Structure 1
Amino acid sequence: MKQYKVLLFFLSVFLILCAIWFVYPSKGVQVGDLKLRFPSYQGYLADLQDSTVDVNVDSVLLAVQKSYEMVEGSTDTLRYYYDYITSNPNRICLPEDDYTFFDSLFVEMAAAAGSGRTVRILHYGDSQLEMDRISAVLRQDLQERFGGSGPGMVPMIQRIPTVSLSQNASGSLTRYAMVGDSLTRKASHKRYGPLTQFTDVSGNGTFTFTRTKNRYSQELVKSISKVSVLLGQNSAGFEMALKCDTLPVRKTVIDSAKAEVSMVTWELPCDVEKGTISFSGNAEIYGIMLDGKGGVTVDNVALRGCAGFIFSSINRQVMKESFAKTDTRLIILQFGGNAMPGMASKKAISSYVRKIVMQFDYFKEVAPQARLMFIGPADMCKSEDGNLITWPLLPQLNDSLKVNCLKNGVAYWDTFNVMGGPGSMRKWVSHNPALAGPDHIHFTHKGALEIGNALAKSFILYHDFYKLRQELSDEAVGIYLRDLRDSLNPRPAVPDTLTKTEL
């Protein structure tokens, strides 16, 4: 065939496709039970008008960073904190804008390093937290400020590797977990403990940990000088022995059988690179804590596929004893993404939020000493008519979660809007370097670093304000902020008994 005929053939095909492109319905053509789709001119115009093109990730991240900084040249520090507490879109939102919400936590965290205690923050979430993402960054930033080190509490058997620790277990061990596939063993007694899983030791077993060498790990996670075991249902004479590097073996025997939760701790004279705990007897191991001398840690609990309303079915007594013994002072829940695909109406959103509120009631009962915080779902995309769009009900779910968290005394951090709002996930995926994966759901390590740093900065700003209030008269601060509020929002006179929670 001559070359010009080949050219004419391709031009003809191109023109036919262009004609179809112009006239083909953007929603496709239904043929029986089959829907035929083809790129359309209308769809092309819709993409051109897509508001997500305005989501510039670098600009969003820069704006988030700047929102945590005081305006250069500003001298009114209290006005800066007032604006932050009441209107900064990237802040941790507090119930009733009560700036004292975290004060009791700050008192404990500030005193921990000097006393050798480890104050724990338990970070529950879905697969966004796998491999210690987000939690690791928050832990590093808080340990830099309040002291502490190590990766925190880990299960004896870890199914999904983490960047923060190398570990393995062997022996007569059986793992039971609330969340998992069809092969995951379930316990009828519901004594899962704070990690929502436990390992049953029946005879002899070992747990070995090694300092991480992963390039994504944070620095302070590598320093381990205190090892603890959280256990229950132990037999009489249950024996544990810890061998670390070249240090002498440390052995502990629990003479009597105990049904309640126990915690055994070994203080080490230096940081260790590797250690092995040998177990002999019968017991349920709820967690192993690898910490520093004293300070703060963040325990990462990643629950793949979980929507966040499983906790209230865990044995209350075990949880209450565990939280008390481990000195858990803040519980963070980060869920919503796994529930989104199953939501088709506002009624479904209301049903889900009610289940989440039930978890708040549960945690207030089993951990009355702990503050609660909820981290909302990130933006996520679905394919509709060949286009990737934000799940239509996601903004409503985010708003409903925020309103109900604050109404029930739970702080809220809005990941969705910190990212840039609707359509932002597409831009996080296409960003160079990629900040989210090709599934348009999960953050990459770099994206998790951005989210973790923003969360930590928001939390630390409240601590900065707390320290400032310790230097000033707390009463004077309250009066100033009240007067500032009234000057910005004139309203009928209020009693002089106005409290700081009424800001």
Structure 2
Amino acid sequence: MEGKAKNYFFKSFLTIIIAIGIFWGLKQVLPARLFPENTAPIPGIVIDSLALDAMTNDSVSMAEADSLENDTLINRIDIDASDNSEGIGNLINFYEKLYELENSGKGKVRIAYFGDSMNDGDLIVQDIRSAYQSQYGGKGVGFVGITSLSASARYSVTHQYSKNWETQSFLNVKKPKRAFGVDGQVSFVPRGSQTWLRYVANDVINSTLLYNPTLFYGSSSNHNGSVNIALGKDSSIRHDLITDRLLNTLKLSSTTKMLKATFEKADSIPFYGVNFDDGVGVHVDNFSLRGNSGLPLSLFNTDLMNALDKILNYDLIVLQYGTNVLGYGTTDYSWYETKMAGVVNHLQQCFPNASILIISTGDRAIKTDMEMKTDKAVEPLVKHQRLYAESTHSGFINLYTLMGGYGSMIKWVQENPSLANKDYTHFNQKGAKKIGGLIYDELDKGYFQYKKLKESGQIPNRIKHSDDL
């Protein structure tokens, strides 16, 4: 009996050894994708298709390589504002417009703030908007898309819409039916259906009303579309949708508290969003999409963005990305640096008079050896974000050091009250408000230094823009 047991044990042990050997042999010859060692995402983090493609293809096209030499902004100056920022003098076009506004009380300054889930529901951005508008004037929540995954979580404006809107996003569609709008989406009304939008202003400082609601939409061979604006329980006003231009605008109503728009016979017309602003002061648009690495911004149609820029006149483009390229087991972000440099140069073509600001990823903690520690990929990613800001002559704010550097996310989660969620990645509302204040303060430090140089005569009275040449 004892001999049989020993024999059985020997056979089992031999079987295991053989299986391990077969597995190891197959691993050497089968495609590496079947055994991904460094590409498993962290739960709760999603990423767009362009970033996934870039991770598996490190080659750079000649067009991308050439674009790294493009330099459309001019008249930059040296401003050393803070240990947490670099290249702030590259924001001179933005600071010039802000200076003109502050001293004349006329005109307006506009900021486009592109981001990911960190800015979901207008987090961070709404606090920067509030700070600028309180200091320099301006009312209104800015440009709001047709649909949004975070609409229900947004407090700065109530945003509702019918479920039958057909929306394409540059996160998962590379070739849309029509060009993407400035929020990275384009929406359509299904044929033969009534489709609606509803916005309500909330009790948010400087945005208690829907100021001058204006619809943005594209060209179409459909000349029969219309939109009805509800004025009360039993009355409405009808507007025809003129679709002759690449980009069309339609003022939907005067300033109001609530707006409901119902679209009829409007199929095939690309819709982009509604803008709410009072025409003076500072306005900040939030263009955040969950899962965005920043790379899909390369899909913007330059002609459409130029047309939009002639109406909205952007002075500053902010890019706050990074969350969605962490967590894939790599610390080499040279591919991301190269790709994002190409994105920034493309944005300089889309918005030629705007300064560009790069905001790095913040701290992020993961469990390592049964203990929460800063993800080892954070600092390498920040390094490469700084490098593509430098190569494209953009401003750079190091959010990682601004919030405290190594281990800071752990402290933010454990603060009482807590400033971040227990995923050790995202800020909660209190934390987002603090981050918004920190970013505004960094920009304000740069502006203070700019004014000192300006008023001492070290900066010319007029900064030339590319369209002046």
Structures share a fold, TM > 0.5? yes
Helix, strand or coil at the partner of 1:449: helix
2:359 is the alignment partner of 1:375: yes
- What amino acid does structure 2 have at the position aligned with 1:239? S
User: CA separation in 1, counterparts of 2:105 and 2:260?
Assistant: 26
Task: State the Cα distance separating 1:354 from its structure 2 match.
Answer: 0.8
Indicate which of 146, 152, 166 corresponds to 2:136. Answer: 146
Is contact 1:244–1:272 with CA below 8 Å preserved after alignment?
no
Helix, strand or coil at the partner of 1:220: coil
Is contact 1:134–1:451 with CA below 8 Å preserved after alignment?
yes
Matched residue, 2:82: 88
Task: State the Cα distance separating 1:114 from its structure 2 match.
Answer: 3.2
CA pair 475-318 structure 1, distance change in 2 beyond 3 A = closer
- What amino acid does structure 2 have at the position aligned with 1:200? F
Helix, strand or coil at the partner of 1:209: strand
Matched residue, 1:339: 325
User: CA separation in 2, counterparts of 1:197 and 1:459?
Assistant: 29
Alignment of 1:464-503 (within 5 A): 464-469=448-453, 471-474=455-458
Helix, strand or coil at the partner of 2:426: coil
Task: State the Cα distance separating 1:154 from its structure 2 match.
Answer: 1.2
2:277 is the alignment partner of 1:284: no
Matched residue, 1:39: none
2:176 is the alignment partner of 1:188: yes
Alignment of 1:273-312 (within 5 A): 273-280=257-264, 281-282=266-267, 283-312=269-298
Matched residue, 1:25: none
Matched residue, 1:240: 227
Helix, strand or coil at the partner of 1:226: coil
Indicate which of 110, 123, 126 corresponds to 1:133. Answer: 123
Matched residue, 2:375: 391
Matched residue, 1:19: none
Considering Cα pairs closer than 8 Å and 6+ residues apart, tell me whether 1 or 2 has the greater RCO: 2
CA pair 312-248 structure 1, distance change in 2 beyond 3 A = same
Matched residue, 1:60: none
- What amino acid does structure 1 have at the position aligned with 2:225? F
Matched residue, 1:79: none
- What amino acid does structure 2 have at the position aligned with 1:136? Q
Is contact 2:87–2:396 with CA below 8 Å preserved after alignment?
yes
CA pair 227-101 structure 1, distance change in 2 beyond 3 A = closer
Alignment of 1:316-327 (within 5 A): 316-327=302-313
User: CA separation in 1, counterparts of 2:364 and 2:136?
Assistant: 34
Is contact 2:92–2:355 with CA below 8 Å preserved after alignment?
no
Task: State the Cα distance separating 1:446 from its structure 2 match.
Answer: 0.7
Task: State the Cα distance separating 1:375 from its structure 2 match.
Answer: 0.6
CA pair 332-219 structure 1, distance change in 2 beyond 3 A = same
User: CA separation in 2, counterparts of 1:267 and 1:456?
Assistant: 33
Matched residue, 1:53: none
Segments of structure 1 that go 5 or more residues without pairing to the other structure are 1-31, 33-83, 478-503
Task: State the Cα distance separating 1:179 from its structure 2 match.
Answer: 2.6
CA pair 474-323 structure 1, distance change in 2 beyond 3 A = same
CA pair 110-168 structure 1, distance change in 2 beyond 3 A = same
CA pair 102-150 structure 1, distance change in 2 beyond 3 A = closer
Is contact 1:119–1:295 with CA below 8 Å preserved after alignment?
yes
Is contact 1:243–1:250 with CA below 8 Å preserved after alignment?
yes
Is contact 1:149–1:295 with CA below 8 Å preserved after alignment?
yes
Matched residue, 1:28: none
User: CA separation in 2, counterparts of 1:200 and 1:111?
Assistant: 43
Task: State the Cα distance separating 1:427 from its structure 2 match.
Answer: 0.5
Task: State the Cα distance separating 1:469 from its structure 2 match.
Answer: 4.8
CA pair 310-475 structure 1, distance change in 2 beyond 3 A = closer
2:154 is the alignment partner of 1:170: no
Is contact 2:82–2:442 with CA below 8 Å preserved after alignment?
no
Task: State the Cα distance separating 1:249 from its structure 2 match.
Answer: 5.4
TM-score computed with the length of structure 1 as normaliser:
0.69
Is contact 1:112–1:119 with CA below 8 Å preserved after alignment?
no
Indicate which of 271, 280, 301 corresponds to 1:315. Answer: 301
User: CA separation in 2, counterparts of 1:154 and 1:245?
Assistant: 23
Indicate which of 409, 424, 446 corresponds to 2:393. Answer: 409
TM-score computed with the length of structure 2 as normaliser:
0.73
Is 227-236 or 321-330 further displaced after alignment? 321-330
User: CA separation in 2, counterparts of 1:377 and 1:177?
Assistant: 23
Is contact 2:356–2:394 with CA below 8 Å preserved after alignment?
yes
Task: State the Cα distance separating 1:387 from its structure 2 match.
Answer: 1.2
CA pair 232-330 structure 1, distance change in 2 beyond 3 A = same
Is contact 2:358–2:394 with CA below 8 Å preserved after alignment?
yes
Matched residue, 1:360: 344
User: CA separation in 2, counterparts of 1:379 and 1:172?
Assistant: 39
Is contact 2:161–2:196 with CA below 8 Å preserved after alignment?
yes
1:479-499 CA-to-partner distances (Å, cap 9, x unmatched) read xxxxxxxxxxxxxxxxxxxxx
- What amino acid does structure 2 have at the position aligned with 1:114? K
Is contact 2:79–2:450 with CA below 8 Å preserved after alignment?
no
